[in-house]
Amino acid sequence: MGGLVTWTGSTNTVWSTAGNWSAGAGGTAPPAADDDVIIPNVTNDPVLDAPDTINSLSITSGGNFDGNNHELTIGGEADGTGDTDDGFAINFFDGSIITGTDTDITLTTEAPTNVDVLAGTGSLRNLTINHASCAVTLYSTCTLTGGLTITAGSLDTRAANHPLTVAGDVSVTGTLTGNASAISMGSLTIASGGTYSATSGTTTLTSRTGGTGTYALENNGTFTHNNGTVAITDADDVVSMKLGASLYNLTLSGGTKKIRDNTTINNNLTLTSGDLYGHSGSLTLDVLGQTILNGGTTGQTIAYTGTMNWGNVTVNSGTLKLSSGTNNAESFRNVGGTIQ
């Protein structure tokens, strides 16, 4: 059974130096895998000097932690003693500080737990959840400068709908639940067996950083749309999408997008810039609501060679190239563009 261990920085900034820690009953200096760690506001701030494992991490107001490119694994949650809060694997108090852009944390907590990673200054880089019983609930806004990996277990943005922003790839083999949160990711990779229960708001994908390196969204698992919108804004020349699911609203802007599988859009497809193509002539695109081209003056194009089943189509600007295969539509309305 571990104990409460508090950083003092009495000797220097090195995490592994025993003289930098004050250990409570049952705790050890430096902290062991079953210890709850408190980092308060002191002169010498801790710098992780090697990968380490602790039970929980709390950073109080003014407390400063630097991961220094090493992985910190957290295997439990705070036990409610001292300044820790029961139920938290990670708790960054108001005014806490994350130094630099090199702090990586892996959660292997074997129980439901809360995570508050809204530091007053700085952000985590990479967050990994890796235990089948690790059910993580966000307790605050979460911003990651790197990636989010759910190898096993789950992450839920909670009924409070905390925003989730990930600059890099989000890779899901477990479960990610978005509720009604504002969610922005570099790219989203849903592995076989993985589940993304999407936000009922907007999931914004900004770059093709994950998967095979060409996909903004690569779905090989389960995508539940929850009547939300997927907005893909990647500006690269060709961005692939393996949707593998029924979406509700799909909004595309930026560079050329290429759909690589049969896809159903249950509501609206909107193209505001860039082009949209099917990967091959054997693919089917079903749009049950409206298809809207708002391409402006730069000539955005939708051009499929497979089967296109449209609802109502409005071309405000840009070019709609009817499929050389099969076209079915309720109506076409050309306001200021071109239909070919």
pLDDT band at 68 (very low <50, low <70, confident <90, very high): very high
pLDDT score at 135 = 97
pLDDT score at 209 = 67
Dig out the tokens for 140 from the structure.
């605050």
The percent of residues in the chain predicted with pLDDT above 70, rounded, is 96
Q: Are 264 and 286 in contact (CB under 8 A)?
A: yes
Q: Among all chains, which residue has been given the structure tokens 């909004």?
A: 251
pLDDT score at 211 = 52
C-alpha 253, offset from chain centre: 20
Higher pLDDT, 185 or 239: 185
pLDDT band at 296 (very low <50, low <70, confident <90, very high): low
pLDDT at 297 over 60: no
Q: What is the mean pLDDT of residues 82-98?
A: 89
Going from N- to C-terminal start, the domains of the chain cover 4-264, 268-340
pLDDT band at 61 (very low <50, low <70, confident <90, very high): very high
Kindly list the distances between the CA atom of residue 125 and the CA atoms of 69, 85, 271, in Å, as whole numbers in the listed order: 9, 23, 32
Backbone angles phi, psi at 311, to 5 degrees: -90, -120
Q: Are 168 and 209 in contact (CB under 8 A)?
A: yes
> What are the respective helix, strand and coil percentages of the chain, to the nearest 5?
0, 50, 50
Query: In DSSP terms, which residues pair with 148 in a beta bridge?
Result: 127, 170
pLDDT at 305 over 80: no
Selection from 26, 51, 45 nearest residue 128 by Cα: 51
DSSP states of 133-181 as a string? Answer: EEEEEE-S-EEESS-EEEEEEEEE-TTTT--EEEEEEEEESSEEE-TT-
102-156, pLDDT tens digit by residue?
Answer: 999 999 999 999 999 999 999 999 999 999 999 999 999 999 999 999 999 999 9
Buried b (16+ CB within 10 A) or exposed e, 226-243: bebbbbbbbeeeebbbbb
Q: Are 2 and 23 in contact (CB under 8 A)?
A: no
The percent of residues in the chain predicted with pLDDT above 90, rounded, is 64
Selection from 119, 105, 16, 15 nearest residue 56 by Cα: 105
Q: What is the mean pLDDT of residues 162-178?
A: 97
Q: Are 216 and 251 in contact (CB under 8 A)?
A: no
Higher pLDDT, 327 or 295: 327
Q: Which long-range contacts (CB under 8 A, 24 or more apart) does 118-123 make?
A: 118/92, 118/142, 118/143, 119/59, 119/92, 120/61, 120/92, 120/94, 120/95, 120/96, 121/96, 121/97, 122/97, 122/98, 123/98
Give the sheet arrangement for strand 263-265, strand by strand.
246-247, 263-265, 284-287, 307-309, 326-328
pLDDT score at 212 = 55
Q: What is the mean pLDDT of residues 190-207?
A: 96
Which residues have CB under 8 Å from 225's CB, separation 6+? Answer: 198, 245, 246, 247, 248, 266
Which residues have CB under 8 Å from 213's CB, separation 6+? Answer: none
pLDDT at 279 over 80: no
* Alpha helix segments (H runs only) across 1-89: none
186-195, pLDDT tens digit by residue?
Answer: 999 999 999 9
One-letter amino acid of 327: N
Q: What is the mean pLDDT of residues 197-211?
A: 87
Pairwise CA distance, residues 2 & 146, whole Å: 31
Q: What is the mean pLDDT of residues 158-187?
A: 95
220-269, pLDDT tens digit by residue?
Answer: 999 999 999 999 998 877 788 888 878 999 999 888 888 888 899 999 99
Half-sphere exposure (CA, 13 Å, Cβ side) for 31? Answer: 33
Higher pLDDT, 213 or 325: 325
Among 28-32, 53-57, 62-66, 293-297, the minimum mean pLDDT is found in 293-297
